[in-house]
């Protein structure tokens, strides 16, 4: 859910809002989340990073039994809407310090053969009943364009340019 700034619970990393995520409490493994979809082709490189926190008033569990966690993910899909590749990393769980923003490490993925689109996802995974809300802010997906390096000889001098 989008949340406006309302300290100390909803304390955006930047700007005036954030996304608050939590589980469904159905007693079975559930996944909730947000995503955005983009067209892409095989061989294209993408990077994603985000920031996450949990508030001490609704902290994610650390009891070690079926704890919840949050991931950032880049997923690649073929024309039949089948996921054919991806990369992900955990960006938050109950072991992370509360009430502070944690900047996730950048993940990078290259679209495999047959790719026609990708999804940039933030997913909240809840194995059973554990509670806690995750706050997400400053999610970024970057299309990495390779830099071409060419050389030429001009007046007897070899020059490199990009």
Q: Which pLDDT score is estimated for 132?
A: 83
Q: Which pLDDT score is estimated for 61?
A: 81
CB 123 within 8 A of CB 53: no
Q: Which pLDDT score is estimated for 160?
A: 44
Q: Which pLDDT score is estimated for 78?
A: 98
Kindly give the confidence (pLDDT) of every residue in the chain, 162 residues in length, as a single tens digit, with 9 standing for 90 and above. Answer: 666 777 777 777 888 888 888 877 777 888 989 999 999 999 999 999 999 999 999 888 877 667 888 999 999 999 999 999 999 999 999 999 999 999 999 999 999 999 999 999 999 988 877 778 899 999 999 999 876 655 555 555 554 444
Residue 46 exposed, middle or buried by CB count within 10 Å (0-12, 13-18, 19+): buried
Q: Which pLDDT score is estimated for 65?
A: 67
State the Rg of the chain over Cα. Answer: 20
Q: Which pLDDT score is estimated for 161?
A: 44
Q: Which pLDDT score is estimated for 148?
A: 61
25: its two tokens: 């409490």
The label of the residue with tokens 């997400």 reads 136
């Amino acid at each position: 859910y989008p949340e406006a700034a309302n300290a100390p619970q909803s304390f955006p990393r930047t700007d005036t809002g954030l996304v608050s995520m939590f589980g469904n409490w159905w007693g079975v493994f559930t996944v909730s989340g947000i995503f955005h979809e983009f067209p892409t082709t095989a061989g294209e490189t993408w990077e994603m990073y985000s920031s996450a926190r949990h508030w001490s008033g609704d902290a994610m569990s650390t009891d070690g039994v079926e704890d919840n966690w949050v991931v950032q993910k880049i997923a690649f899909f073929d024309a039949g809407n089948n996921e054919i590749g991806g990369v992900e990393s955990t960006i938050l769980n109950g072991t992370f310090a509360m009430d502070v923003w944690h900047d996730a490490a950048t993940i990078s993925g290259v679209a495999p053969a047959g790719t026609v689109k990708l999804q940039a996802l933030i997913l909240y995974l809840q194995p059973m009943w554990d509670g806690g809300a995750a706050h997400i802010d400053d999610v970024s997906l970057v299309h990495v364009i390779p830099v071409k390096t060419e050389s030429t000889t001009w007046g007897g001098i070899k020059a490199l340019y990009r």
